[in-house]
Chain A
Amino acid sequence: MLKSNVFSKKTRNNKIKKEVREVYLRDDIWCGVSSCTTCDSPAASAAARLTASTILVVDTNVVLHQIDLLENPAIDDVVVLSVVLDEVKNKNLSVYNRIRALCSNSLRKFYVFANKFHKDTHVEKMEKESPNDLNDRAIRVATQWYQKHLGDATRVLLVTNDRENKRKATEEGIFAETIESYVKSLGQPDLLDLVVQPASVDVNMEDIEDSRPSKRKVIYEEHKPMSEITSGLRHGIYHQGKLRVNRYNPFEAYVGSESIGDEIIIYGRTNMNRAFDGDIVAVELLPQEQWHEEKSLSIADEEEEEEDVHLAPSSADDAPRSTTPVNAADQIPVPSRPSGRVVGIIKRNWHSYCGSLEPMPMPAGSGSIAYALFVSKDRRIPKIRIQTRQLGNLLNKRIVVTVDSWDRQSRYPFGHYVRVIGDIGDRDTESEMVLIENDIDARPFTAQVLACLPPLPWSVSSEDLANPIRLDLRQIRVFSVDPPGCKDIDDALHCTALPNGNYEVGVHIADVTNFVHPGSPLDDEASKRGTSVYLVERRIDMLPKPLTEDICSLRADVERLAFSVIWEMTPEAEIISTRFSKSVIKSCAALSYVEAQARMDDSRLMDPLTTDLRNMNSLAKVMRQRRIERGALTLASAEVKFQIDTETHDPLDIGMYQIREANQMIEEFMLAANVSVAAQILKIFPVCSLLRRHPSPTREMFEPLLLTAAAVGINLDVSSSKALADSLDCAVGDDPYFNKMIRILATRCMTQAVYFCSGDLSPPEFHHYGLAAPLYTHFTSPIRRYADVFVHRLLAASLGIFQLPTIFQDRPQLTSVADNLNYRHRNAQMAGRASVELHTLIYFRKRPTDTEARIVKIRSNGFIVFVPKFGIEGPVYLTSKGQKGGGEWYVDEQQQKIVKMDSSLSYSVLQTLRIHMEVVEPQPNRPKLQLTLI
């Protein structure tokens, strides 16, 4: 039964640690060529992929460097050897995933040949042979086997750029070519742009790099060899961590280090030493006396970037983090954090980036090779130098570019062009940029995923009603309140007065897990997407539309399945009992916030629904008051709302989103449901619950807020959330907006809340700072957040009505689920913000506007203003760019003021002024919003 195949067995000894490993060599590994008659088995013909008369065998470096080319449909009929796959996997996991995706794509002809387990292609290490040579030989042996196996009718071509390997191959009678010569032979010149040029071939470096006549000078320090890094890390000389570049100042980066319990700041590209955002790096601390040299360094950097107008940050994660914004020479250095420099890169995080080419004159001859600088939309990424034969074509386009190498002599990394997205400034192109930049998959759902949906039209079945685990709540007066036009209604509520004077309050959440089963393609896809993404003009769903808008959505007047949290509450909103149950509901009304508010405010209305709303509202007010007394923060952020033309999708109007009492009422009950669910799941599953926490901000994070507050004579106490909440209440200025302004500034000092697995942290760390809650999770939006789907499963399992999937027993996997959810959540927010920024720009293109603004930060040559009406923030320059204060203005650090030398004029922080907003094009096709003082 088991060993139907003939095996021969070989053992191989590893010298260092004696380790004996078996390899079973087989004769049932097929060649994958559909015309092959030797491989005669149903399994062989099922796996066959390759059809052409020329079959390519690629070596490891071709896969590693030319993956963009391989992904182009012009390249097909490729044999990928397992030895190549293993090596690629060791060197670059992301390329490995891409080549794997190619091999499993049924539309492409890529075939994996497990050469190391085939009896005729297995090779043993020879004495003194290096691993590289061994791999090269294995590739040649396999190529030769293919040629022999397929006969003369088929040409088996080894594609390698390794000169030595190619020479040996030719000697052994194997057809071998470099990737360039193979692509040239295809006769498609455009493909050549995709071919990555080895960096060492660039002979004309001086011409393109800089015009100095000297030889190419060394710009960056050499990276330390891996062995030195490893021992340095062990001895605590180096510190390992992920490099994160400041989104608003690409010359500043942070490396989190566990070993010293703090983050190390890296100032300037020289100290970053060619590291990219997301790279795992080894860092050496600089001597303490060099810890405050950030200013000199960032000025020395030649490509000083100016600040753009952008959406006002809503948390510390969005905000620029530099604590010393001023370049005053006589400034007292703030107590500085350790700073360091990168000595080596342990793992690269290179992927593709989108952006555009820096404007440049066209070269003389058309079609000749030109060098251009690519500027990524993501400001954390340095410019990338590429080589192209189609410069004229690319100059005004948004394009995707990949990084290939970065050597010590070049200021910028080298990369190559991958594809064009579209014209710069075109709304669709820019929207796609937002998606690519934030790693958001907006592709339609696959047939496999759609196959998991229940047949349409769907309705509650008699089995659902008969199911003993489901409460029949169809007779209860349930309703929903959402933003206008909301189609994915996650939540509905009810509030019934009980004879004993108490209230029964129910929160009913769409029963998504009734339709999304663990491990199904639908579930996998949803877990990968993690969240729905809301852009200004479109929504990218986490679940397919029929689920999102119909089957799960708790619409009015239809029966829907729900997962309910039902409390009995006293009129003082004390919870007497909590029940959880699956249910069937029939909502009687889907109200908008405005409608709900209008009903409550209209004293003539006395209908049951309005009474329910009023009862709920009074309960919510008590709950809210109690929460605030506990120390919950009333945070504020500038939410912007667009009115979009349905035809052109262009923004017609833009304004602040108004928060009503009705919003707060719904929010209060959602918070309560989440808290109740968090307590329930944690009680039953102490180590595998998915919770959400909000870390307490450190005093240092509040520093900018305190500085600003002190300048306007307000003393804030940030020792606890309660103290902060109280002192925020006292921070009242002359005008009503002042307090909100301070709250907005406070909010952006905090980081965002994050998901985590309860087994990974200790209970004190579960705390949610902003809500002042010891426990919190997400339960109430399963249609648009995967975390909630996860929590629904936990809750159902805690009630004994659902078996927990195996993933909950796997802690590392749970942690990675939580990490992915945080990543997706963050990206979705970034994308939402970027989309708002894009539409703000489109809106103001035709509408130069004068408006009111407030100074939020003082700079050496101007200040940053916040425009409350549009939620944006940007620089206003007092002196023209490059002058750096020019001696005309000086900054009063204490008072947070910028004062003209002759004291005739001054601007101080939080001051209100009027500005003019207009879209300008300092460079063709590079529009930007400009703010000027009126």
Chain B
Amino acid sequence: MEFVSPEGLRLDGRRPTEMRQLRAEIGVVSKADGSAMFEMGNTKVIAAVYGPREVQNRGQQTNNDHALVRCEYSMANFSTGDRVRKPKGDRRSIEISLVIRQTMEACIMTHLMPRSQIDIFVQVLQADGGTRSACINAATLALSDAGIPMCDLVTSCSAGYLNSTPLLDLNYIEDSAGGADVTVGILPTLDKVTLLQMDAKLSTNIFEDVMQLATEGCKAIANYIREVNPFILIAVYIWPSLKTF
């Protein structure tokens, strides 16, 4: 199948290094401490953050010096074309919940909030490829909306490799083509990678190109997120010494 025409256009009219249109809004769930809606093309995700608040189930607290971060990912039944009712807590949801939690934990300054708990709820409203990245971006925005101190933003973007071309931000059709799909999460200011997932094999030099492209996508998303919420509480500004680790 031809995913990039010889004229260099993808099936939806984008060029290989172009991202889908981004849209975001904060404060969409009034009851939550922080919330955000994030759209990448037709992929639409909502995130709500509760906390920091008192730990509700002491048993879960493993480390008293740090805040407990919990994450629950779900997919609305109407989010994909075929409206099948998916059981909650299937393997994929559990895995994505874990990925989001670990990624967010890497940037939340959990040691500033001992004996407390932060809950992140992420729901996919519309799925059209790149849901993982959209969830992370929405969670970042929601956390910033809740005023939770973070050492940096986390932003995520995917890139793939089809028809011997690295492609940024795969949509559903491209994602289902069976090529490689690299999802990257970065801390843009610290210039660090916090998430890297790939579900196929690529040779190292091609992998580097694809990852480079995804990283550039992450940076572009970071710029966009800063536009949406200019008042992000970034801990590095408070404790500049952290920058040196």
Which of A2, A19, A117, A803 has the most CB atoms of chain B within a 10 A radius of its CB? A2
Indicate if A805 sits at the interface (CB-CB under 8 A).
Answer: yes
Say whether B217 contacts A806, CB under 8 Å.
Answer: no
Interface residues of B in 28-51 (CB under 8 A from A): 41-42
Bound CA–CA A469/B35 (angstroms): 60
Indicate if B193 sits at the interface (CB-CB under 8 A).
Answer: no
Which of A3, A89, A104, A805 has the most CB atoms of chain B within a 10 A radius of its CB? A3
Q: Could you mark each residue 188-223 of chain B with 1 if its beta carbon is under 8 Å from any beta carbon of chain A, else 0? A: 000000000000111100100000000011011000
Bound CA–CA A24/B2 (angstroms): 18
Indicate if B153 sits at the interface (CB-CB under 8 A).
Answer: no
Residue on B nearest A112 in the bound complex, by CB: B7
Also in contact, A9 and B81, with CB within 8 A (given A2-B168, A26-B13, A114-B7): no
The answer, among A19, A22, A100, A805, for a CB contact under 8 Å with B41, is A22
Say whether A1 contacts B12, CB under 8 Å.
Answer: no
Say whether A1 contacts B220, CB under 8 Å.
Answer: yes
Interface of A is mostly: mixed
A21 contact set on B, CB distance < 8 A:
12, 42, 173
List, sorted by A's number, 28 A–B pairs whose CB atoms are closer than 8 Å: A1-B219, A2-B17, A2-B19, A2-B216, A2-B217, A7-B21, A9-B21, A11-B42, A20-B126, A20-B128, A21-B12, A21-B173, A22-B41, A22-B42, A22-B128, A24-B12, A24-B13, A24-B20, A25-B13, A82-B7, A82-B9, A104-B6, A112-B6, A114-B7, A114-B13, A117-B13, A803-B203, A806-B202
Summed over the interface, the residue pairs from A and B with CB atoms below 8 Å come to a total of 69
Chain B nearest CB, measured from A685 CB (Å): 13
Given contacts A2-B19, A18-B81, A806-B202, 14 further A-B contacts (CB under 8 A): A1-B219, A2-B17, A2-B168, A3-B21, A7-B21, A17-B82, A22-B171, A24-B12, A24-B21, A82-B7, A89-B2, A112-B5, A806-B206, A809-B201
B19 contact set on A, CB distance < 8 A:
2-3
The answer, among A17, A22, A89, A806, for a CB contact under 8 Å with B12, is A22
Bound CA–CA A804/B12 (angstroms): 33
Chain B nearest CB, measured from A821 CB (Å): 21
Residue on B nearest A25 in the bound complex, by CB: B13
Residues on B facing A (Cβ under 8 Å):
2, 5-7, 9, 12-14, 17-21, 41-42, 81-82, 126, 128, 168, 171, 173, 200-203, 206, 216-217, 219-220
Bound CA–CA A7/B13 (angstroms): 10
Bound CA–CA A493/B226 (angstroms): 70
Indicate if A450 sits at the interface (CB-CB under 8 A).
Answer: no
Bound CA–CA A9/B220 (angstroms): 19
Nearest 7 CB-CB pairs, A to B? A117-B13, A24-B13, A809-B201, A19-B81, A22-B12, A2-B19, A2-B220
Residue on B nearest A7 in the bound complex, by CB: B21
Bound CA–CA A793/B219 (angstroms): 39
Indicate if A103 sits at the interface (CB-CB under 8 A).
Answer: yes
Say whether B5 contacts A82, CB under 8 Å.
Answer: yes
Which of B7, B12, B19 has the most CB atoms of chain A within a 10 A radius of its CB? B7
Indicate if A23 sits at the interface (CB-CB under 8 A).
Answer: yes
Also in contact, A23 and B12, with CB within 8 A (given A1-B216, A806-B203): yes
Chain B nearest CB, measured from A3 CB (Å): 6
Say whether A103 contacts B42, CB under 8 Å.
Answer: no
Q: Could you mark each residue 10-41 of chain A with 1 if its beta carbon is under 8 Å from any beta carbon of chain B, else 0? A: 01000001111111111000000000000000
Size bracket, chain A contacts = 20 to 34
A9 contact set on B, CB distance < 8 A:
21
B217 contact set on A, CB distance < 8 A:
2
Chain B nearest CB, measured from A519 CB (Å): 8
Bound CA–CA A116/B2 (angstroms): 16
Also in contact, A23 and B201, with CB within 8 A (given A2-B168, A11-B42, A112-B7): no
Bound CA–CA A17/B14 (angstroms): 24
B220 contact set on A, CB distance < 8 A:
1-2
Say whether A17 contacts B201, CB under 8 Å.
Answer: no
A7 contact set on B, CB distance < 8 A:
21
Bound CA–CA A809/B41 (angstroms): 31
Bound CA–CA A20/B44 (angstroms): 12
B203 contact set on A, CB distance < 8 A:
803, 805-806
Chain B nearest CB, measured from A292 CB (Å): 45
Chain B nearest CB, measured from A19 CB (Å): 5
Bound CA–CA A1/B223 (angstroms): 11
Chain A nearest CB, measured from B220 CB (Å): 5
A100 contact set on B, CB distance < 8 A:
6
Interface residues of A in 220-256 (CB under 8 A from B): none
A17 contact set on B, CB distance < 8 A:
81-82
Chain A nearest CB, measured from B173 CB (Å): 8
